[in-house]
């Protein structure tokens, strides 16, 4: 898991550099820096054929769900070698059904009703797969969220609802946007088993997700997991997040999920400093390889676009 | 081919039943479609025949209905979702236009969304401004979606069967006023392909395009025109996405005159787009302006007599033809 966390961190740091320093990438891009423990802990608890539905802040989910970094990077570069052949871009990097990374939507809240449908489809097929839906604290104020939660609870669908509460929807803090005492309250209000999880602790996320996945497989019921975390940077790559109090940012940066996990692994003598450095170096190399791969490809020919509008050749 | 007379609603029900028998992955979901049998009884009896796992009553949650259909389609099933009135469609427009219609494209062809969203418009049934809207032209702006507008029981059945077998998201817009109208439908199985207009009546002097309910009105208008010595050709577009422009242009090149009749508000409606496309393709063949017959730029009034005046009909089509004959 540490290896994966490093990959997510170094990947996003590279993206930030490519946007801000090198000017090599353009368009909106929403980084997952500081939230790595959630995607990595959650995916470690899922099976490879479980299906994820995520958002425009989805690079981390893609990498954690084993989408090759080079394909993600090529998608950010808009190349035909990317996960979506360069037609999706940063906000849809995580569409790669081959590894169960089923869908990523750029409209806040819209993934939840789709996750309900995926859960319904899986239940209908009577297999053991589950669906996992990732969304932010901003999504809990959309109508789609409430309609979907009601349906997921009503029909007892095998859906894991990961609310990544990173404290801000763009610049609006949760306390100025959510009327209920907590986001978890909203899960409970639909009669869904709900947990509040330390989203900066990968082991906590893993344990909670494991229990939720087993519950979904065993009794076919959903679980709502409010994973409390913090965006290290702003909403998008160009946002410096200056609307946040400095002491608040400093407090959260001290709770860096990777540093915390490193410390825990060393204290329990599971890994040495050398092991950790090696994992980091491997991640950095993978990211560099991804950039090299992405730099080589080219975009799809414009004339090919029409072939992707409809299935079945019409 | 053995024919019998059944209603538009019965034809739709037969299509659903046959496709559900043919393919166990077909699942229906929507408000009041199961126990109640559908607000207009299109799905009557299907719950009893196929069970609650395949005929699913939902809460009043249009976003969740459309979104669940998208999700079901992504898992390889074949959802046929119902949105009770077309007026409720904007509630779930994100799922239909921004999710379903874009997913194949923006996934670079990795995913497809084979789903049908059935809905109906109730113009002419005294349902007032919020239960009578008909705005199919909006979907010209949504590539990735197919849009079907059946005007007869025969087409309703054949087109719905094709829509369910299609690999793309299909918006299937029924006409509420037609549910009880009868027409000849074969006993044997058949389908009507999406994207093919049909010449419902041959003629030489003018082409009249009817959309949905106005196919019947266009045919009545053609009869009235015949009495006046005008030979009208009537075309049913059947689908507007894809639009079969070839059949329309071929006809206009022969008749040199075109009237388009559709139940939507005239400005920016189906007639506007067809008119522009025909002009681009066959300007030199036209002897008169293209005329659109549609609703005025006013919300649908409740008062029954006012609604009748508001709606297009055969007489208004005849009037439009009269205005361009002899030019």
Kindly list the domain boundaries of chain A, sorted by start residue. Answer: 2-295
Topology, domain A2-295: Rossmann fold (3.40.50)
pLDDT of residue A313: 59
Residue-by-residue DSSP string for A213-233: HHHHHHH---EEEEEE---SS
Search chain A and give the residue with CA nearest B60.
A147
E strands, chain B, in order: 3-7, 26-30, 55-57, 78-83, 116-121, 146-148, 170-175, 182-186, 198-201, 206-210, 232-236, 239-241, 258-265, 291-295
Nearest CB neighbour to B71, from listed A114, A125, A312: A114
Interface of B with A in 216-275 (CB under 8 A): 242
Is A113 within 8 Å of B66 when comparing Cβ atoms?
yes
Question: Distance (Å, rounded) from C-alpha A59 to C-alpha A237?
Answer: 13
For residue B141, pLDDT over 80 is answered with: yes
Mean confidence (pLDDT) of chain A: 96
Give residue B326's pLDDT band: very low, low, confident or very high (50, 70, 90). confident
Q: Which residue of B has its CA nearest to A308?
A: B105
B23 near A CB under 8 A: no
Contacts 24+ apart (CB under 8 A), A48-51: A48/A99, A48/A100, A49/A100, A49/A129, A50/A100, A50/A129, A50/A130, A50/A131, A50/A132, A50/A213, A51/A97, A51/A100, A51/A102, A51/A118, A51/A122, A51/A129, A51/A130, A51/A131, A51/A132, A51/B75
Q: pTM score, two decimals?
A: 0.96
Instruction: Say if residue A314's pLDDT is above 60.
Output: no
Q: Please pick, among B13, B127, B131, B257, the residue that the annotation labels catalytic.
A: B131
Q: Domain B198-324 is of which CATH architecture?
A: 3-Layer(aba) Sandwich (3.40)
Choices 3.40.800.20, 3.30.70.100, 3.40.50.970, 2.120.10.30: CATH for B3-186: 3.40.50.970
**Contacting residues of A for B99, CB less than 8 Å apart:** 105, 107, 110, 114
Mean pLDDT, range A299-305, rounded to an integer: 97
**Phi, psi of B80, deg, nearest 5:** -120, 100
Q: Residues A159-177, buried b or exposed e (16+ Cβ, 10 A)?
A: bbbbbbbbbbbeebebeee
B127 is catalytic: no
pLDDT in tens, B61-113: 999 999 999 999 999 999 999 999 999 999 999 999 999 999 999 999 999 99
**pLDDT tens, B217-272?**
999 999 999 999 999 999 999 999 999 999 999 999 999 999 999 999 999 999 99
d(CA A156, CA B285): 62
Contact map slice: A 115-174 vs B, CB within 8 A: 115-122, 124-125, 131, 143-144, 147-148, 150-151, 154
Q: Tell me: pLDDT of B174 over 90.
A: yes
**Mean pLDDT of the A217-228 span:** 97
Tokens of A115: 């996750």
For residue B123, count other CB atoms closer than 10 A to its CB: 24
Q: How far is B89 from chain A (nearest CA, A)?
A: 14
CB contact under 8 A, A151 and B68: yes
Query: Cα separation of A174 and A138, whole Å?
Result: 8
Enumerate the domain spans of chain B.
3-186, 198-324
Q: What is the pLDDT of residues B3-12, one digit of tens each?
A: 999 999 999 9
| pLDDT band at residue B202 under the 50/70/90 scheme | very high
CB contact under 8 A, A117 and B106: no
Supply the pLDDT for residue A97.
98
Mutate to test the interface with A, among B30, B61, B67, B162 (most CBs of A within 10 A): B67
Average pLDDT, integer, range B188-208: 98
Nearest chain B Cα distance for residue A250, angstroms: 38
Smallest Cβ–Cβ distance between B53 and the set A103, A105, A124 belongs to A124
Lowest mean pLDDT among A9-13, A23-27, A215-219: A23-27
């Amino acid at each position: 898991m540490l290896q994966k966390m490093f990959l997510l961190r170094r990947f996003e740091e590279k993206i930030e550099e490519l946007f801000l320093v090198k000017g090599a990438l353009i368009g909106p891009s929403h980084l997952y820096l500081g939230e790595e423990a959630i995607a990595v802990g959650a995916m470690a608890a899922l099976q490879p054929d479980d299906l994820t539905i995520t958002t425009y802040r989805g690079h981390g989910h893609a990498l954690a769900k084993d989408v090759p970094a080079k394909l993600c990077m090529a998608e950010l570069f808009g190349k035909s070698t990317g996960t979506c052949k360069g037609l999706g871009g940063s906000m849809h990097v995580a569409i790669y059904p081959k590894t169960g990374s089923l869908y990523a939507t750029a409209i806040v809240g819209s993934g939840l009703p789709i996750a309900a449908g995926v859960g319904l489809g899986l239940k209908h097929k009577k297999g053991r797969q589950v669906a996992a839906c990732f969304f932010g604290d901003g999504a809990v104020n959309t109508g789609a969220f409430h309609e979907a939660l009601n349906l997921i609870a009503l029909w007892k669908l095998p859906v894991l609802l990961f609310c990544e509460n990173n404290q801000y929807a763009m610049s609006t803090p949760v306390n100025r946007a959510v009327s209920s005492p907590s986001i978890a309250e909203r899960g409970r209000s639909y009669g869904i088993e709900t947990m509040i999880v330390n989203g900066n602790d990968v082991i906590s996320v893993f344990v909670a997700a494991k229990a939720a996945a087993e519950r979904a497989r065993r009794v076919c019921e959903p679980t709502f997991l409010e994973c409390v975390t913090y965006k290290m940077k702003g909403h998008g790559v160009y946002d410096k997040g200056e609307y946040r109090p400095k002491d608040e940012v400093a407090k959260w940066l001290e709770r860096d999920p990777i540093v915390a996990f490193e410390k825990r692994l060393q204290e329990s003598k599971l890994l040495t400093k050398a092991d950790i450095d090696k994992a980091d170096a491997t991640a950095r190399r993978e990211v560099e390889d991804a950039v090299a791969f992405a730099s080589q490809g080219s975009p799809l020919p414009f004339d090919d676009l029409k072939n992707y509008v409809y299935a079945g050749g019409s | 081919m053995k024919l019998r007379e059944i209603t538009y609603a019965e034809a739709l029900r037969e299509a659903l039943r046959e496709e559900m028998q043919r393919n166990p992955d077909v699942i229906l979901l929507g408000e009041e479609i199961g126990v109640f049998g559908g607000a207009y009884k299109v799905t009557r009896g299907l719950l009893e025949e196929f069970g609650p796992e395949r005929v699913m009553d939902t809460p009043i949650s249009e976003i969740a209905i459309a979104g669940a259909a998208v999700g079901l389609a992504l898992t390889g099933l074949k959802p046929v979702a119902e949105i009770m009135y077309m007026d409720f469609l904007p509630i779930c427009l994100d799922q239909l236009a921004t999710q379903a219609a874009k997913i194949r494209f923006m996934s670079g062809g990795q995913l497809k969304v084979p789903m049908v969203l059935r809905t109906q418009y109730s113009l002419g049934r005294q349902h007032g401004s919020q239960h009578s809207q008909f705005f199919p032209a909006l979907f010209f702006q949504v590539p990735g979606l197919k849009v079907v507008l059946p005007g007869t029981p025969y087409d309703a059945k054949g087109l719905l069967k094709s829509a369910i077998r299609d690999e793309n998201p299909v918006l299937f817009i029924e006409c509420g006023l037609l549910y009880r109208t009868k027409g000849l439908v074969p006993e044997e199985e058949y389908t009507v392909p999406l994207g093919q207009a049909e010449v419902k009546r041959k003629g030489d002097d003018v082409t009249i395009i009817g959309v949905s309910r106005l196919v019947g009105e266009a045919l009545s208008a053609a009869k009235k025109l015949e009495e006046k010595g005008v030979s009208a050709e009537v075309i049913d577009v059947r689908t507007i996405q894809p639009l079969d422009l070839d059949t329309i242009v071929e006809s206009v090149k022969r008749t040199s005159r075109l009237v388009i009749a559709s139940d939507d508000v005239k400005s920016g409606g189906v007639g506007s787009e067809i008119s522009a496309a025909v002009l681009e393709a066959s300007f030199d063949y036209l002897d008169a302006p293209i005329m659109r017959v549609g609703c005025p730029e006013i919300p649908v009034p409740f008062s029954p007599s006012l609604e009748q005046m508001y709606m297009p009909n055969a007489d208004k089509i005849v009037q439009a033809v009269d205005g361009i004959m002899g030019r």
